Structure 1
């Protein structure tokens, strides 16, 4: 469903770009136009139109940083931004968002078994308004490490988080059956970490050796108030669902978790909402929310956690 939605969204953007380009060509007559000729002028109009579409996408991204800054937690002194790192943060998050929404998520993963696989297999659970294609960079890293993995697509996108649990259970059982492993490692981004916790609450940890979350709003995020769907409501700060989840978790389940997050996350705010008591919390800086799935430092940190996971 997400893939189809993105195709429609990209089609609309391309249509808007072409319409704006045509309008510019018809009505914009700068002094240099006659000198360069019609083909060059048409290309210039197309470039301006493309820049306008990209600018709108950039402004949406920057606005997320603005909203998250208003509800931000206190950043540790070692992660303070300067003008250069701030620009790099926004630029990398914008590029990551463009790649995820315009390329990665058009290529859902499915099951990827590796010959002569090493270690435990990995179940990849995407976040809110995404699909398994989000994990394309991580999938390439896992393939190079010869680790079998399975990226699932949670449907429908706006369902309650508990409604995704049967899909996760089916994926866990399939991954175990296909690989001959008794347990799997779960790597989850954003809302996917909450889906993993909901799975453990219902089915326990018999099949789960480790859960690694990237930018998961374990205590909710203020920006969830802007999102549609039952799952967005559940991810709001101080939601009844989050309180119920925390109250029903066993200490042993928390010890299975590694929570990787950035103190400059532009979707999870306050950013320390990703700090999960009882878990192994790994804190980074100058990395945005979407970028967590493709940032080299984060990917190698996640891979290290995967490699050290052992059956429990």
Structure 2
């Protein structure tokens, strides 16, 4: 048993190293702009993807492609991706998301999905913007419980991800602008090395899906994770806000 567990741990670690390298290679793409779909009509579903800290919208390119392949079998699901300044704090990140989705039709249905810090950005926007187009939020490896020591990074984005962050507290309590309930799914990496006890960092009151044997970065490049995300989107497609 111990040998099998060691083999599994090594495989997971190797997968995470490969994912991190892929993450680094993709960061040069889509850094300066939002990537928005063409031909979106009122009533269409759009999955808006946000990256995590120290990244760009380029890292979600493979996930966007996977969503497009899988969702095509059922209904048309558009994808968008937004780059934001992760070191400047959550406020500027939310503003960047708001500016991007403003270009989408007023009758579109938005499914906001963020990796790591991006999940907090998505949830903040859903709670506080009053945007009735937001159908749901989905997070990938997002530490809603905070990251110990994050405040030591010395910039606003780090301080706001610390366990004592008032912003994270507000998000966990679901304190929104208009009292509107927005469903949430936390997709959790069972082997996440960024936070201890990753399951404890899922958003309270939301649905949770644990992906065993995956690390923090690997969530972005895993077909099974993409499948969970697509099924969730299809479950809520056409329901409106």
Shift of 1:112: 3.2
Partner residue, 1:243: 169
- Contact 2:127/2:174 (8 A) holds in 1: yes
Partner residue, 2:185: 258
Q: Residues 76-127 of structure 1, C-alpha deviation per residue, up to 9 Å, x if partnerless?
A: xxxxx8112101110111000001102x2222271233799x9511111111
Structure 1 runs (4+) deviating above 6 angstroms are none
Q: What is the distance in 2 between the residues matched to 1:87 and 1:113?
A: 43
Q: Residues 159-181 of structure 1, C-alpha deviation per residue, up to 9 Å, x if partnerless?
A: 1102222211122221336xxx4
Higher relative contact order (CA 8 A, sep 6+): 2
Partner residue, 1:176: 105
Q: Residue 136 in 1 paired to residue 61 in 2?
A: yes
- Contact 2:44/2:108 (8 A) holds in 1: no
2:82 equivalent among 140, 152, 159: 152
CA RMSD of aligned residues (A): 2.6
Equivalent residues, number: 227
- Contact 2:46/2:108 (8 A) holds in 1: no
Q: What is the distance in 1 between the residues matched to 2:198 and 2:40?
A: 39
Distance 1:93 1:255, change over 3 A: same
Q: What is the distance in 2 between the residues matched to 1:115 and 1:215?
A: 29
Q: Work out which of the two has the higher radius of gyration on C-alpha atoms and give 1 or 2.
A: 1
| Higher percent of residues as helix | 1
| Higher percent of residues as strand | 2
Q: What is the distance in 1 between the residues matched to 2:139 and 2:39?
A: 23
- TM-score, reference length from structure 2: 0.84
Q: Which consecutive residues of structure 2, in runs of 5 or more, have no partner in the other structure? A: none
Partner residue, 2:14: 91
1:167 equivalent among 80, 96, 106: 96
Counting only pairs closer than 5 Å after superposition, residues 18-29 of structure 1 correspond to structure 2 as: none
- TM-score, reference length from structure 1: 0.66
